[in-house]
Amino acid sequence: MATAKPGAENNSTVEKISCTLRQFASQYPFENLDVVTQNTMPITETFLFQKFSQYRGGLCYELNPYLYLQLKEEGYNVKLVSGTISNGNHWALDGTHVLILLDLGDSLWLVDAGFGNQLALSPIQIDGMAVSSAAGSFRARRLQTPKGTHVLEMKSEEHWIIKYAFSLKELPWKKLTDIKEQITFHEKSPFNSSPLIAQCFSDQTLSVTDKQMRVRFSKTGRQKLVKFNDPTEFMKEVKTLFSNSIFEKTSEYMKKAEKHG
């Protein structure tokens, strides 16, 4: 793997975007509440601005397009592409992960704010050096796979594991709504059966479902696992940890779930 370092100008750009990614991740969690409540509104710029102005979060097809719009507005050369998640021995739904590619002229970088709580919180240079965050160590490189020409890998003990594959072809904006529909209704979608709210901070990662909360502290590697005995405990944690709009949307889901048994 290459170990080339970006030049001074690119270093400055990477640090600016890293700062943006850290702020973005602290404000907007990865959450599937629109999916489990079957919100079918199309992904438009207006929809994203309205949703994120309420300090909601979203899935990759919302988080990364919203960040893409911000980066594009600031003058960066960015584009959206799609990828396919690898679940060890099999691939997930084809092309349903959305990510950003940043072109700095002499180098290409992966930017991802929508991969659960497994976030690098920094651009990752393709065929460049690995980067680390509270979630772990990441690298991006060219590798031909059945699902694309490039991969994002995450280190597990001493091994690098493919987390998703992608190609460099730009994703048309209209495809975002198609991806949303697949994630919302496809029988093999991993996000349409129960609520998930996850976040990556500078010193810890957090994951909350209706069954449990898991916190991992990066400095010590220690994990805190809290099992919920009933929905009240789950809702109490959501109210404590997240925005009012997320709490309200979670309440909507819980009422529907209770009604349908």
* Residue 83 pLDDT exceeds 80: yes
- pLDDT for the residue numbered 89: 87
Model pLDDT for residues 152-200, shown as the tens digit of each residue: 999 998 899 999 999 999 999 999 999 999 999 999 999 999 999 999 9
C-alpha to C-alpha distances, 23 to 121, 123, 259, nearest whole angstrom: 9, 14, 37
Mean pLDDT score, 147-151: 98
- pLDDT for the residue numbered 219: 83
Find, among 111, 104, 126, the residue nearest to 13 by Cα. Answer: 104
- pLDDT for the residue numbered 261: 63
- pLDDT for the residue numbered 260: 74
* Cβ–Cβ < 8 Å for 114, 29: no
Residues belonging to the chain:
261
- pLDDT for the residue numbered 5: 56
- pLDDT for the residue numbered 3: 44
What confidence tier does 258 reach under pLDDT thresholds 50, 70, 90? Answer: confident
C-alpha to C-alpha distances, 13 to 2, 9, 202, 247, nearest whole angstrom: 20, 7, 19, 35
Model pLDDT for residues 212-251, shown as the tens digit of each residue: 999 999 888 899 999 999 999 999 999 999 999 999 999 9
Beta bridge partners of 138: 131, 154
* Residue 105 pLDDT exceeds 80: yes
Every domain of the chain with CATH number 3.30.2140.20 lies at 8-166
What would you measure as the largest C-alpha separation in the chain, in angstroms? 59
Q: Which CATH architecture has domain 8-166?
A: 2-Layer Sandwich (3.30)
* Residue 20 pLDDT exceeds 70: yes
What confidence tier does 88 reach under pLDDT thresholds 50, 70, 90? Answer: confident
Amino acid at 119: L
* Residue 259 pLDDT exceeds 50: yes
Rounded CA-CA distance 239/256 in Å is 18
3-state secondary structure of 216: strand
Beta bridge partners of 212: 227
- pLDDT for the residue numbered 2: 42
Beta bridge partners of 197: 31, 208
pTM for this prediction:
0.94
* Residue 7 pLDDT exceeds 50: yes
From the number of C-beta atoms within 10 Å of its C-beta (0-12, 13-18, 19+), residue 66 rates as: buried
Mean pLDDT score, 17-34: 97
Rounded to 5°, the CA angle 50-55-61 comes to 65
* Cβ–Cβ < 8 Å for 38, 195: no
Structure tokens at 61: 């097809």
Query: Which residues participate in catalysis according to the annotation?
Result: 60, 97, 112
Sheet with strand 212-217: strands edge to edge: 30-31, 196-200, 204-209, 212-217, 223-227
Structure tokens at 203: 């010193």
Residue 66 parent element (H or E)? helix 60-73
Rounded CA-CA distance 4/15 in Å is 17
Rounded CA-CA distance 144/105 in Å is 23
Rounded CA-CA distance 212/233 in Å is 9
Model pLDDT for residues 30-72, shown as the tens digit of each residue: 999 999 999 999 999 999 999 999 999 999 999 999 999 999 9
What confidence tier does 1 reach under pLDDT thresholds 50, 70, 90? Answer: very low
Q: What share of the chain is helix, strand, coil (3-state, %, to 5)?
A: 35, 30, 35
